Amino acid sequence: MDSDPDKWFWDRVSKHLVQLHSFDDVLYTGRTKFQNVEIIRSQSYGRFLVLDSKIQSSDADEFIYHEALVQPPMILHPGPETVFIAGGGEGATLREVLSHGTVRRAVMVDIDEEVVSICRKMLPEYSRGSFQDPRAEVYHTDAREYLAASTDDSFDVVIIDLPEPIEEGPAYLLYTQEFYRLVQEKLTSNGVISVQSGSASWTELENLCAVACTLRSVFPVVFPYQADVPSFGGPWGFCLASSGLSPLPLSAAEIDARIAARSLGHLRFYDGQTHQAMFNLPKHIRGALADASRLITDDTPLYMYSE
């Protein structure tokens, strides 16, 4: 191991776990109104976008995370036309949404305009021109406030791509039962929501279990799933929820047919076989999810760690 402590970045996987990455350069460091921002060039994964000491994306495997978050709900919906994105500052979630020709309007609301600007300037490969797409609308305000007070529109798909909840951070009130109820009100009758839900490692399931339990208190159909995101330190959890649409009846062949019909030839991670694997969780994780009872509410928010 390199003995120089200044050449190792500590990634906060959770309040109980960190992982170390060796790096070459710190390309950017600063503080916005809402959070600390760094862009670091690592030796293993290329550039990292880091918010409040937590890796959000890496050059090497951002496609895994963003396809896993976006493509299952988009493919599950038979013809998504309107999509709402909470967060997603890199623009990669917007990129994946706009890859669907069915989409005529994608509304992205990220409270931190500075992070979006930094990513557009320093990580343009992530968004790949999606911010300039005429179907995209980008607003810099609180996503909950936007849904509650700034729009009467309904959405076919809602994607929650936020940093994990930390005390005094910008996102902790967007993981609560009250927020999910607001999202449900804004979904069309066969609408789908997906939520990035934290680590799915066996000893770090607190966030995933709490998000799944909270979603189940609002939506009749909730399916947690996982994908291995190496730069995050292992398996990562997501939750898909709806009022009726289930991802389980879709065969691998049907998923592949929908991908082909929508001309999604760019996909490197997600296909029918991967879909089946993501939603077939190991027995020990299924057991933990079945026993989950922690509800996240405005009065009892979940903090993964404090700044």
Strands 221-229 and 155-161: unpaired
**Residue 161 a catalytic site member:** yes
For 230, list phi and psi in degrees, rounded to 5. Answer: -55, -40
Among 110, 153, 161, 291, the active-site one is 161
DSSP of 130-196, one letter per residue?
A: GGG-TTEEEE-S-HHHIIIII----EEEEEEE-PPPEETSSSGGGSSHHHHHHHHHHEEEEEEEEEE
Non-local (6+) Cβ contacts of 303 within 8 A are 165, 166, 167, 172
Q: Which stretches does DSSP call E strand in 15-163?
A: 17-31, 36-42, 46-51, 54-58, 82-87, 105-109, 136-139, 155-161
How far apart CA 78 and CA 128 sit, in angstroms, is: 25
Q: How many CA atoms lie less than 13 Å away from 113 in the CB half-sphere? A: 4
How far apart CA 156 and CA 97 sit, in angstroms, is: 12
Burial label, 35 (beta-carbon count in 10 A; 0-12, 13-18, 19+):
buried
Q: Where on the phi/psi map is residue 168: left (φ > 0), alpha (ψ -120 to 50), or beta?
A: left
Non-local (6+) Cβ contacts of 122 within 8 A are 27, 28, 39
Amino acid at 105: R
Task: Supply 94's token pair.
Answer: 């917007």
Other CB atoms within 10 A of residue 24 CB: 10
Q: Catalytic site residues?
A: 161
